[in-house]
Amino acid sequence: MNVTVNGESRKVEPGRTIAAVVPNVGVFCAIGVCHGCLVTVNGLPDVRACQRVLHEGDEVVTR
């Protein structure tokens, strides 16, 4: 499956969360309680990378 992270195309396995494939996301709790892993997905800000499963064509922008 193909996604874009900070303008760079990547191939990822289906079913993976953003946090699992983007190492520079600040994951502290990994259960959606903190705000350390917030990213923008397809133009939608403040998405928790630890909880959001990637989908084909997603565009992720980290802070």
As for how many domains the chain has, the answer is 1
CA angle 20, 18, 50 (to 5 degrees): 80
Which amino acid is residue 51, in one-letter code? Answer: Q
Residue whose C-alpha is closest to residue 43's, from 53, 57, 29, 32 = 57
Q: Enumerate the H helices of the chain as residue ranges.
A: 18-21
What global pTM score does this model have? 0.90
Instruction: Give me the CATH number covering residue 34.
Output: 3.10.20.30
Whole-number pLDDT of residue 33: 86
- pLDDT tens profile 19-41: 999 888 878 887 888 888 999 99
Domain that holds residue 44: 2-61
